[in-house]
Amino acid sequence: MTLDAPTHYADRLCSLIRAKKTPLIVGLDPRCEQLPPSMLAGHGSLVPLAIQAQLYQQFCCEIIDAVHRLIPAVKPQAAFFEQLGPAGMMALANVIEHAKSVGLMVILDAKRGDIGSTAVAYAAAYLGARPLSPWGCDALTVNPYLGEDSLEPFVTAAKKNNAGIYVLAKTSNPGSRTLQEKIVDGQPVYSHIADLLQSMAQSTIGDSGYGIVGAVVGATYPEQLWALRQQMRNTLLLIPGYGAQGGTAADVAGGFDEQGQGAVINSSRGIIFAYERREYRAIKDWQVAVAQATQDSIAEIASETRAGRISDSVIQ
Amino acid sequence: MTLDAPTHYADRLCSLIRAKKTPLIVGLDPRCEQLPPSMLAGHGSLVPLAIQAQLYQQFCCEIIDAVHRLIPAVKPQAAFFEQLGPAGMMALANVIEHAKSVGLMVILDAKRGDIGSTAVAYAAAYLGARPLSPWGCDALTVNPYLGEDSLEPFVTAAKKNNAGIYVLAKTSNPGSRTLQEKIVDGQPVYSHIADLLQSMAQSTIGDSGYGIVGAVVGATYPEQLWALRQQMRNTLLLIPGYGAQGGTAADVAGGFDEQGQGAVINSSRGIIFAYERREYRAIKDWQVAVAQATQDSIAEIASETRAGRISDSVIQ
């Protein structure tokens, strides 16, 4: 055992989860029509893309400032920045840099996936620290449809750059049934993917007991989440679908191991647009509403899940 | 029948294929280390990202100038531009705009895929004309792992903006076996996806007999390509894997319908880096080598496939 800060992705994440005493992460999914009225004031109903990009950057950076002491990581959603064209991509880069500068880990939700040298390019783009990686993320979500050889370049880059990936296994939408739940050799497709991910996680394991290959498993199917946790003992889980998508703290409970570790729970809309929610409307500053919603979600998760035991059980 | 230019995506593409008398499209996959030596001259071995982005833009725009009279469309690969960070994304936008300005259709190969409002954001980002869509592409490649409801926002946006999508069915890599060839209810996963795509294509059909939902099917599995052409009668095929990946003109022959229509064949490395190939090394200007390789590929495809009959058979 060493006193140096861990460099292995899973070790870094688990260490931050213990330090912050919560597995909650905040999803940065900005939308122009839901920005705080104070930010939109003075702009007409048709805000030019370049201005929208500036507003997204300001909004996300202020959220980061409001919550960075409370949580281990943020998860920007690439699509909302891509929607604004190149100006949005510049805003995304600045948001990632700001999050890193205040000690947050950054999991970019971009669901990339391709083969050969194209997968190498995606991995080089997103995984690792600046300036080697221009986007400089700690982890990236990846789509497995193209198969095992399409995942390998991401794993190679992640290993080299102390980064991680989360591969889609069982997503939170009803349409996940179309393909992910189809039965092959007696088990659903997502379970075959889970076997593959567990083997990749095992071969990249760190001191935390987790590998650098994780899985995305939605909060909206709690029984499958529980089963996948048992099936993938060394695989970090990224659990979307908590909060606005309908998943409760009880629903995500099955995603943790006996020490309350091994998973991060993402909440996006319920937190970043908290000022729109009835229970927070009385709060004058939108940033305070965001921080309060974060604290409330942390408390809710802690009270209903084994993750509530993190602070007591795993002081190493 | 009308004399107006067609607006439906498949009708536009089929009309351009007839006008150019070839289904060949050129993939724009720039890589710094393979740029023409004349472009790299004066730059050290470590070219800054912003300069690389300028070089990518110049390289792709010069390729477009060299080949735009010969082919119906180009297919930029997003990953290589994303690898350069925000500067690369700006270059990508400029390359797309330049291709459109000289009458080429643009199929962006970005393999996006997500659920709900995130899929809506991706679709709004890429599908349709500028300035409504900041990237302004005619079509986008899409990953089906998240299921039917994840495809619908793309179809809705494509319908509204006279655009199209190509959903991954059977990809050209060996690892496509991991998931795509798994047998479900007696048929492989890719064939279930094909059924879904054919039904989406049928419900968005144009005068050409093709819908706005297409499929990506690799050239490296010719028998599967032939079978999928029969299974998806109204579905445009985007066929990668021709040329550098090993697919021959004979291999792609099965992708066309009886009129030599219904598919585009992509070639990237074999064309854009033609000046590195022995047979073109004697050509002084790299742009001329690129144009020559394009003409040679067009001739090869015409001589070995039913697409060679396009010019004779389907003057409507």
**B121 and A175 in contact by Cβ < 8 A?**
no
Chain A residues in contact with B177 by the CB 8 A cut-off are 147
Residue among B20, B21, B75, B111 flagged as catalytic? B111
Residue A305: its pLDDT value, please? 72
**Does B83 contact A122 at a Cβ distance shorter than 8 Å?**
yes
Q: Give how far Cα B205 sits from Cα of A54, A105, B8, B201, Å.
A: 40, 46, 9, 6
Amino acid in position A185: D
Q: How far apart are CA B71 and CA B223, in angstroms?
A: 26
What is the per-residue pLDDT for A101?
Answer: 98
Q: Which residues of chain B have pLDDT under 50?
A: 1-2, 311-316
Given this model, what pLDDT does residue A1 score?
45
Neighbours of B152 (CB within 10 A): 17
> pTM to 2 decimals?
0.96
For residue B305, what pLDDT is reported?
72
Q: Which two tokens stand for residue A294?
A: 């974060």
Tokens matching residue A225:
């989440």
Secondary structure element (H or E) that encloses residue A178, with its range: helix A177-180
Specify the pLDDT at position B289. Answer: 98
| Distance of alpha carbon A132 from alpha carbon A119, whole angstroms | 17
Give the start-end residues of each E strand in B22-178: 24-28, 73-76, 105-112, 139-142, 164-170
- What are the angstrom distances between the C-alpha of B148 and each of A136, A171, A193, B145? 32, 12, 19, 9
Contacts of A166 in chain B (CB under 8 A): none
Closest chain A C-alpha to B118 CA, distance in angstroms: 6
Residues 6+ apart with CB under 8 A from B278: none
pLDDT at A308: 56
Q: Is A75 a catalytic residue?
A: no
Mutate to test the interface with A, among B92, B166, B179, B185 (most CBs of A within 10 A): B179
Q: Which residues of B touch A144 (CB under 8 A)?
A: 145, 178-179
Q: Which of A161, A179, A183, A245 to mutate to test the interface with B (most CBs of B within 10 A)?
A: A179
With 0-12 CB in 10 A as exposed, 13-18 as middle and 19+ as buried, what is B251? buried
Task: Please report residues of A whose CB lies closer than 8 A to that of B172.
Answer: 115
Decide if A182 and B196 are in contact by the 8 Å CB cutoff.
no
Closest CB from B115, B126, B184 relative to A184: B184
- Per the prediction, chain A carries an average pLDDT of 93
How close A296 gets to chain B, by Cα (Å)? 25
Nearest CA in chain B to A116: B173
Contact A148 B178 (CB under 8 A): yes
Chain-chain contact of B179 with A193 (C-beta, under 8 angstroms) = yes
Residues of chain B found within 8 Å of residue A168, distances taken between Cβ atoms: 145-146
pLDDT at B284: 95
Say how far apart CA B76 and CA B145 lie, in whole Å. 22
Instruction: Give the residue from A120, A178, A193 with the most B CB atoms within 10 Å of its CB, the best one to mutate.
Output: A178
Q: Is residue A3 very low, low, confident or very high in pLDDT (cuts 50, 70, 90)?
A: low
Report CB contact under 8 Å: B175, A146. yes
User: What pLDDT score does A311 carry?
Assistant: 44
> Can you tell me the mean pLDDT for A37-42?
92
Q: Which of A82, A90, A125 sits opposite B79 (nearest CB)?
A: A125
Chain A residues whose beta carbon lies within 8 Å of the beta carbon of residue B143: 111, 113, 143, 145
Find the radius of gyration of the CA atoms of chain B.
19
List of residues 6+ apart from A177 with CB closer than 8 A: B147
Nearest-by-Cβ selection for B146 from A148, A173, A183 = A173
- Catalytic pick among A21, A75, A111, A160: A111
Nearest residue of chain B to residue A193 (CA atoms)? B179
Chain A and chain B share a number of CB contacts under 8 A equal to: 188
**Amino acid in the structure at residue A14:** C
Residue of B271, B198, B258 whose CA lies nearest to B28: B271
pLDDT of residue A131: 86
pLDDT per position as a tens digit, A67-107: 999 999 999 999 999 999 999 999 999 999 999 999 999 99
Residue B132 has a pLDDT of 86
Geometric angle at alpha carbon B275, from B272 and B84, rounded to 5°: 45
> What are the backbone angles phi and psi of residue B59, rounded to the nearest 5°?
-60, -50
Instruction: Give the closest-approach CA distance of A168 to chain B in angstroms.
Output: 8
pLDDT value of residue A64: 98
Residue B121 has which token pair? 């954001």
Per residue in A245-288, pLDDT (tens digit) is 788 999 999 999 988 899 999 999 999 999 999 999 999 999 99
| DSSP per-residue string spanning B158-220 | HHHTT-EEEEEEE-SSGGGGTTTT-EETTEEHHHHHHHHHHHHHHTT--TTS--SEEEEE-TT
Rounded Cα–Cα distance for residues B33 and B37 (Å)? 9
Q: What pLDDT, on the 0 to 100 scale, is given for residue A307?
A: 60
